[in-house]
């Protein structure tokens, strides 16, 4: 299949590369020409404008937008709606607010266009590991795009299959790493909650290791102080422990490089999904103690930084390449 990739940052460029590995053709565009040139050197077709992107695709055209949520995505999709023809497909693979997807899908439908939202997880590792995708849109459009999603997804891999799966209402593609979550907006809604959970998991690790590090504090009675090796603890927890995870793997890697995590500022950013998850919880009257506390801890980290905050920065760098270094 031939698809346009609009936005060639950390995620967009690697998604394009993985699709090319799967035999698909990429028309590449970014406002930063060197990024386009780099991907063109790897086999993509370069485009210098959105108009040129549209001209280099055949109907029905597929436009994949991989840009930061908010104005960059909004303005780009608006321009594509003006360039697209009935039957064309616009995909937002970034981290847009799901209510924006619902609105855009309605506008696209009025023009005879199909709109698909793809919550995409995998970070900088997705090129080799594959991407977990939560997809919103109409079933027929998603089925037409399935070869793209299958090429991007991790596949069955080595993960043991879940016992008792196989019911009539289950999406068999979940075992490959992608699902049709529901109508437009549902893909980004599921990804939003995924990121909210991510905040909570990361905060739990950060606080736990902060407590371990603090056990050597001079504030404690001398006979109750332990000088614990955090690198060894992270490593042993990776092996057979009930709290083993990819986030713990990244934690162990960061601590092995520098147990004090001096390269990280600990001023932890949030990209919006945690905030939106708490908003959804309030709208649904669902208590979300852990997720809200994890979000507020990130706000606090920008005023008063702890070792745990540095660990959060280290994990964010590990899975997404997010840079939070001391200034």
Owner of token pair 């077709």: 45
Please give the Cα distance from 68 to 62 (Å, whole number): 19
DSSP annotation string for 75-92: HHHHHHHHH--TT-EEEE
Catalytic residues: 191, 198
Our CA angle for 295, 297, 299, nearest 5°, is 75
How far CA 103 is from CA of 9, 204, 322, in Å, comes to: 26, 35, 30
Please give the Cα distance from 64 to 46 (Å, whole number): 15
Mapping DSSP to helix (H, G, I), strand (E, B) and coil, where does residue 34 land? Answer: helix
Please give the Cα distance from 182 to 139 (Å, whole number): 8
Please give the Cα distance from 318 to 315 (Å, whole number): 5
Which residues on adjacent β-strands are paired with residue 117?
Answer: 92, 136
Please give the Cα distance from 310 to 301 (Å, whole number): 9
Please give the Cα distance from 303 to 143 (Å, whole number): 48
Please give the Cα distance from 160 to 25 (Å, whole number): 33
Please give the Cα distance from 288 to 296 (Å, whole number): 12
């Amino acid at each position: 299949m031939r698809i346009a990739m609009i936005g060639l940052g950390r995620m967009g460029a690697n998604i394009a590369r993985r699709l090319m590995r799967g035999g698909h053709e990429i028309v590449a565009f970014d406002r930063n020409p060197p990024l386009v040139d780099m991907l063109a050197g790897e086999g993509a077709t370069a485009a210098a404008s959105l108009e040129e992107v549209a001209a280099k695709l055949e109907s029905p055209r597929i436009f994949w937008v991989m840009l930061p949520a908010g104005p960059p995505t909004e303005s780009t999709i608006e321009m594509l709606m003006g360039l697209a023809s009935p039957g064309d497909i616009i995909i937002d693979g970034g981290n847009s607010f799901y209510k924006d997807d619902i609105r855009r899908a309605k506008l696209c439908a009025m023009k005879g266009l199909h709109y698909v939202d793809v919550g995409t997880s995998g970070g900088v590792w997705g090129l080799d590991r594959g991407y977990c995708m939560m997809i919103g849109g109409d079933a027929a459009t998603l089925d037409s795009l399935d070869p793209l999603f299958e090429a991007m997804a991790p596949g069955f891999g080595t993960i043991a299959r879940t016992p008792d799966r196989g019911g009539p209402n289950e999406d068999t593609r979940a075992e490959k790493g992608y699902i049709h979550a529901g109508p437009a907006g549902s893909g980004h809604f599921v990804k939003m909650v995924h990121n909210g959970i991510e905040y909570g998991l990361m905060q739990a690790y950060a606080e736990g290791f902060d407590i371990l590090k603090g056990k050597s504090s001079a504030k404690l009675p001398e006979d109750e102080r332990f000088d614990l090796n955090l690198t060894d603890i992270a490593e042993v927890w990776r092996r057979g422990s009930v709290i083993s995870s990819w986030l713990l793997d990244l934690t162990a890697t960061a601590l092995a490089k520098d147990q004090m995590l001096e390269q990280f500022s600990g001023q932890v950013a949030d990209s919006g999904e945690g905030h939106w998850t708490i908003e959804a919880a309030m709208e649904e009257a669902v208590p979300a103690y852990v997720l809200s506390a994890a979000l507020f801890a990130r706000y606090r980290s920008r005023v008063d930084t702890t070792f745990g905050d540095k660990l959060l920065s280290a994990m964010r760098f590990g899975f997404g390449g997010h840079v939070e270094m001391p200034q």
